[in-house]
Amino acid sequence: MSDRRPSAGFSTKFEEFQGEVDSHEALYKYSIGQTDEFWGRCAMSRLSWTQPPKTVNASDLNSGEIKWFQDGKLNVCYNCVDRHLPSHADKPALIWERDDSSKSRKVTYRELHEYICKFANVLKANGVQKGDRVAIYLPVGLQGAAAMLACARIGAVHSVIFTGFSAEALSHRIDDADCKLLLAQDYTSRGGKTINLKQIVIDAANKSKSLKKTLVYSEADNQDGWLDSFTDLSKQIEDASSECPIVEMNAEDPLFLLYTSGSTGKPKGLVHTSAGYLLYAQMTVKHVFDLEPSDVFACVADIGWITGHTYVVYGPLANGATTLCFDSHPLFPNAGRYWETVAKYHVTQFYGAPTAYRMLLRLGNEFVKSHDLSSLRVIGSVGEPINVAAWTWLHEIVGNSKCDIVDTWWQTETGGNLLTPRPSNQGAEIKPGMAMRQFYGIEVAICDPGTGKEIAWEAGQKIEGALCFKKPWPGMARTIYGNHKRFLETYYNPYPGMYFSGDGAVRDEDGYVTITGRMDDVINISGHRLGTAEIEDVLNSHLSVSETAVIGIPHEIKGESAVAFSILKEKADLNQENVRSELIQLVRGRLAKFAAPEKIYFVTGLPKTRSGKIMRRILRKISAGQIDEIGDVTTLADPSVVQLIIQKVVGAK
Ligand code: WTA
């Protein structure tokens, strides 16, 4: 293997501040001290504006009003594609690694530009105008990425819905955002299996009230004629003109909505706007991953998640690099698929999820070692905590002890990485399984959930509490679509003057941060965020179920899995096994396959306080076998249910 070029850490990457700052610490200090100057100078040099902004930051965390560069104008698609054409039109913009690798393809910036223009013309021809919401139910790949960028080109607001979601979940998201148009696909392929999306698309299109049209990209030959009732997207793109002017957008015009789960209620559509989001995507991918335009960046997330938005589409393309869309499964055709892909395209940065890393680590090192991974410089981890064993495996086996391993903490709401070991000084220490450092302009506050106040941190002290941020940054979400009140209540009211993440964290003696997990009723299955209430709602809709509590418990591979405790309605002839499998099917069909509970216990009562709140903490302790840590149950309305649940759970083991 050839020697890997070491990642640069802090180096000369900030052309804006050449000759002014000479270390990572100095630049971080500047970014925190003169925050508006820092972001303002970066915005001017990194983005191409049709009208440069005069104001930088008009945000106020007390009122939850976030505004960046508000009098500037630009177009996000232009920044990601058009502006790279003069210098590297023939360089691959996107590599689409398909399930069947023989069908994989490279798309140059010129080709991507042409395809997006055609796509955008199709959207316009189908009535989409600036500000309209467009739902995208497409897997990661050329069509998916181009659909997003085509929306951005004409000022439409996209809402990508992960293709693993059911028709009900899809139609709810379509209607919530009043989407006019749905862009979908008939089939996709994953792990060698054909996945039929047709029925989901038909059902969602029938259910949705706001949809005017559904355009379907067809992977098959329409033998059964199902496409006849929809518009054939592939055909229309083929016939469309390849010239499409950009629409000038205000910096604060919405770029996209993305639905994510909260601890209560239905999933919420977080709104990200144009300039601030793009700048934050451009800067984090460049400095966390040491990205150069000549690099091949492989983030293996789907575009249905924020990671796919920021680190598959917008971030790498805003930097003029090559982005790899991984449209397959890490075990297909064998556990070497990621590494074969890295070797095949000389991938320089690889960004994946702990669940997949944990799975691969168990299957043996030969799948890694049989490929030449010498092109890799940085390996990232995202979406859930990474355990030390998986981190060490990435470092020693995949990275051959020569790559930087970055455990990146962030959220749909934050737009991009907030906590990550890089950037830092070149060669600075990286601790296993720890997000460690704050990105430029980011200032952490660990708060006391009791008092709602920040806990003062001093070097040499270790503190723990709610993870908050006390300075706004350009990439943060602006609102929840149609529900600004919920936005304020969730993120800004709990700790006045700060953004509250919903996570807990420890800040150690050196100032480094470790995430301890969610503080609310959100669970994280294989990096997929779900509200326990969402699963409970589906289970409770079964005719035989009267009430349910869902909790997350640790899972060796998936990080967490869902466990349900359901009370059945009294019926003499109930076959519990049948009900159990019906319930699993119900969750798979109405929510998503990955949301199905690992276990369902039928119980006679749930541990509730006298005011009726379910004490999920007690259920978590019972499930973990920590019976002696359950604590005081005398405040429960009926303490005797605890013993009965213990018997059920212990009896089932
Ligand atoms: C969790 C994914 C530990 C966290 C980008 C957060 C993490 C939620 C990490 C957001 C990490 C994300 N270590 N936990 N490196 N990254 N999380 O919105 O609980 O899908 O609040 O965004 O995932 O999930 P989301």
pLDDT score recorded for residue 226:
77
CA of 121 to the centre of ligand 1 (A): 36
- pTM for the complete prediction? 0.95
pLDDT score recorded for residue 572:
57
CA distances from 270 to 169, 299, 388, 490, 642 (A): 16, 22, 32, 12, 38
pLDDT score recorded for residue 158:
98
- Where does 284-403 show beta strands of DSSP type E? 296-299, 322-327, 349-352, 378-382
Instruction: Indicate which atom in ligand 1 lies nearest the CA of residue 517.
Output: 19
Instruction: Indicate which atom in ligand 1 lies nearest the CA of residue 386.
Output: 13
CA of 407 to the centre of ligand 1 (A): 10
Contact 380, 287 (CB under 8 A): no
Three-state secondary structure call for residue 260: strand
CA of 282 to the centre of ligand 1 (A): 20
Encode pLDDT of 6-61 as tens digits: 565 555 578 898 888 888 999 999 999 999 999 999 999 999 999 999 999 999 99
Token pair, residue 273, equals: 């706007």
Burial class (CB in 10 A: 0-12, 13-18, 19+), 20: exposed
Instruction: Report the run of H or E that residue 269 belongs to, with start and end.
Output: strand 268-273
Token pair, residue 260, equals: 């994510």
Q: Which CATH number fits domain 530-650: 1.10.10.10, 3.40.50.300, 3.30.300.30, 3.40.640.10?
A: 3.30.300.30
Three-state secondary structure call for residue 51: strand
Question: CA 54, 59, 65 angle in degrees (round to 5)?
Answer: 125
Burial class (CB in 10 A: 0-12, 13-18, 19+), 143: buried
Name the residue ranges covered by the structural domains of the chain: 11-58, 530-650
Q: What is the ipTM score, two decimals?
A: 1.00
Residue type, 308: G
Ligand 1: list residues with CB < 6 Å.
260, 305-307, 382-385, 407-412, 435, 501-503, 515, 518, 524, 529
pLDDT score recorded for residue 8:
58
Token pair, residue 214, equals: 């559904």
Q: Which residues pair with 326 in a beta bridge?
A: 97
Q: Which of 355, 434, 515 to mutate to test the pocket of ligand 1 (most atoms within 8 A of CB)?
A: 515
Three-state secondary structure call for residue 396: helix
Encode pLDDT of 236-262 as tens digits: 999 999 999 999 999 999 999 999 998
- Those residues of the chain that have pLDDT short of 50 are 1-3
CA of 458 to the centre of ligand 1 (A): 26
How many angstroms separate the CA atoms of 452 and 629, rounded? 26
Question: CA 364, 101, 197 angle in degrees (round to 5)?
Answer: 100
Taking CA atoms only, the protein residue closest to ligand 1 atom 10 is: 411
CA distances from 451 to 128, 263, 493 (A): 49, 21, 13
Contact 118, 240 (CB under 8 A): yes
CA of 305 to the centre of ligand 1 (A): 11
Taking CA atoms only, the protein residue closest to ligand 1 atom 22 is: 411
- Where does 81-235 show beta strands of DSSP type E? 92-98, 105-108, 133-137, 157-160, 181-185, 187-190, 193-196, 213-217, 231-232
How many angstroms separate the CA atoms of 255 and 276, rounded? 10
How many angstroms separate the CA atoms of 9 and 588, rounded? 43
Contact 586, 622 (CB under 8 A): no
CA of 592 to the centre of ligand 1 (A): 19
* CA atoms 383, 388, 393, 395: torsion sign: positive
How many angstroms separate the CA atoms of 280 and 427, rounded? 24
Q: Which of 311, 419, 529 to mutate to test the pocket of ligand 1 (most atoms within 8 A of CB)?
A: 529
pLDDT score recorded for residue 579:
95
Half-sphere exposure of 587 (CA within 13 A, CB side): 27
Residue burial 46-81, b: 16+ Cβ < 10 Å; e: rest: bbebeeebeebbebebeebebbbbbebbbbbbbbbb
pLDDT score recorded for residue 427:
83
Taking CA atoms only, the protein residue closest to ligand 1 atom 5 is: 411
Instruction: Indicate which atom in ligand 1 lies nearest the CA of residue 529.
Output: 20
CA of 245 to the centre of ligand 1 (A): 37
CA distances from 424 to 62, 418, 420, 431, 510 (A): 30, 13, 9, 13, 14
User: What are the residue ranges of helices labelled H in 196-304?
Assistant: 198-207, 233-239, 274-288
CA of 60 to the centre of ligand 1 (A): 24
